[in-house]
């Protein structure tokens, strides 16, 4: 019995290919640091499920333009409608800290008020993410800047919402690469297949000296242009603007109000009120470039967030920066919740109102 292989778009290279159905799965061998090929056809259903859960498929990258081989979880195509979510923002804007805080909270059950649970789909990748980012973050370490040239996903989760399970792939590349105008930059390839984008604006970004970027919204500008290279994206791709490091103004209304906002289930009117406050805030500060995604995309929400809850400081002279009093993320799930509503992971009439003009 043969069925048409399902067409899948690889989140990494954005090529489409027929998902292999020959029953052969790659399993990473810790000893040899290589993949073993395992044919699951002869295995019992329980063993087959086990191998597939830990296994991979190598993307054939039909365009042959990625340079390095890349792998997707063998179960990636078991679920409909995979989602690719990318973070965009200047170098040092706070993308990596925000994604870390967000995935950490989602993993700790932070999406349960929305009827959503989260688990790993790519176990090796998730372990790596946990070790490299979540654990140091929990210990109060300030995470390092992302290296230029990252093309792989940061994490691939299985998000089970009221409308069914969906694989969600997150990309967190270097701000430096997001500011590169090189058309074939491999690090920004994910943008060709992105289904939702989180634009990250850091609170001090108006001061050009405070980040590595001359124009803090340059990465926004480039990403908007790249995404709108596919005209349908203006209506197809929902976006969220996250104003991060909002802890720096945590006593200032209206920042204060939203940072303290408790998660109480999906409330489109509340998201709209927050979006209005953030819009007005950015507008008053003259951050016009950072509002570009709002004008360019039909569905856009805006949020005040803080990944760490405070500034990092050097523990001793010459030492790595630390969050000495620990991390206290605030409102970090808000942009993700809005995107899950706008992409139908959280379905229903309330979700349909989120981000609508």
Chain residues that interact with Mg ion, rule: CB under 5 A: 95-96, 146
Stretch of residues binding ligand GTP (CB under 6 A), selected from 41-49, 73-81, 249-257, 305-313: 305-313
Least distance from ligand GTP to the Cβ atom of residue 89, Å: 5
Contact 208, 91 (CB under 8 A): no
Which CB atom, from 70 or from 248, has the smaller least distance to Zn ion? Answer: 70
Applying CB under 6 A, the span of 11-19, 94-102, 222-230, 346-354 interacting with ligand GTP comes to 94-102
Cβ 174 to ligand GTP, closest distance in Å? 5
The DSSP letter of residue 11 is T
At closest approach, how far in Å is the CB of 317 from ligand GTP? 17
As a whole number of angstroms, the distance between CA 82 and CA 314 comes to: 41
Q: What's the min distance (Å) between Cβ of 105 and ligand GTP?
A: 13
Q: Which of 73, 82, 86, 89 binds ligand GTP (CB under 6 A)?
A: 89
Phi, psi of 230 (to 5 degrees): -105, 105
Query: Under rule CB under 5 A, which residues in 54-83 are in contact with Zn ion?
Result: 59, 61
Q: Is 310 in the site for ligand GTP (CB under 6 A)?
A: yes
Retrieve residue 58's tokens.
């190598």
- The CB-of-201 to Mg ion minimum distance in angstroms stands at 14
What is the dihedral sign for C-alpha 124, 83, 296, 198? negative
Nearer to Zn ion, 59 or 111 (CB): 59
Residue with Cβ nearer Mg ion (146 or 151): 146
> Contact with ligand GTP (CB under 6 A): which of 16, 65, 81, 311?
311
The strand pair at 83-88 and 196-202 is best described as parallel
Q: Cβ-closest residue to ligand GTP? A: 175
Helices H / strands E in the chain, number of each: 12, 15
Q: Could you tell me which residues come within 8 angstroms of residue 333 by beta carbon, excluding any fewer than 6 positions away? A: 102, 105, 106, 110, 111, 263
> Alpha-carbon dihedral of residues 314, 97, 153, 232, nearest 10 degrees?
-140
What distances in angstroms separate CA 211 from CA 85, 89, 149, one per listed residue?
Answer: 24, 11, 20
- Residue ranges in contact with ligand GTP by CB under 6 A: 89, 91-97, 142-143, 145-146, 174-175, 244-245, 247-248, 306-308, 310-312, 321
């Amino acid at each position: 019995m043969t069925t048409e292989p399902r067409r899948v778009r690889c989140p990494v290279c954005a090529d489409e290919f027929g998902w292999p159905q020959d029953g052969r799965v790659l399993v990473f061998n810790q000893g040899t640091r290589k993949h073993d090929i395992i044919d699951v056809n002869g295995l019992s259903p329980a063993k087959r499920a086990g191998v597939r859960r830990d296994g991979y498929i190598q993307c054939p990258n039909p365009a042959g333009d990625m340079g390095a081989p890349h792998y997707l979880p063998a179960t990636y195509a078991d679920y409909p409608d995979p989602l690719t979510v990318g973070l965009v923002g200047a170098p040092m804007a706070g993308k990596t800290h925000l994604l870390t805080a967000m995935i950490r909270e989602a993993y700790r059950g932070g999406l349960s008020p929305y009827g959503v649970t989260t688990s790993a789909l790519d176990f090796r990748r998730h372990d790596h993410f946990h070790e490299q980012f979540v654990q140091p973050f929990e210990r109060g370490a300030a995470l390092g800047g992302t290296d230029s040239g990252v093309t792989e996903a940061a994490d691939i989760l299985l998000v089970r919402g009221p409308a069914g399970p969906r694989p969600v792939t997150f990309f967190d590349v270097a701000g430096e690469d997001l500011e590169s105008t090189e058309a074939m930059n491999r690090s920004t390839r994910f943008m060709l297949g992105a289904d939702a984008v989180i634009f990250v604006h850091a609170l001090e970004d108006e001061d050009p000296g405070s980040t590595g970027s001359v124009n803090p919204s340059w990465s926004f500008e480039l990403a908007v242009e790249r995404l709108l290279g596919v005209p349908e994206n203006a209506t197809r791709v929902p976006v969220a603007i996250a104003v991060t490091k909002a802890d720096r103004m945590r006593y200032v209304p209206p920042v204060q109000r939203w940072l303290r906002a408790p998660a109480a289930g999906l409330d489109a009117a509340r998201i709209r009120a927050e979006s209005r406050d953030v819009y007005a805030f950015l507008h008053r500060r003259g951050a016009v470039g950072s509002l570009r995604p709002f004008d360019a995309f039909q569905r856009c929400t805006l949020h005040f967030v803080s990944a760490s809850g405070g500034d990092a400081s050097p523990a001793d002279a010459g030492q790595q920066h630390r969050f000495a009093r620990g991390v206290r993320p605030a409102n970090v799930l808000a942009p993700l919740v809005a995107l899950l509503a706008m992409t139908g992971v959280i379905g229903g009439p309330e979700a349909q109102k989120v981000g609508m003009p």
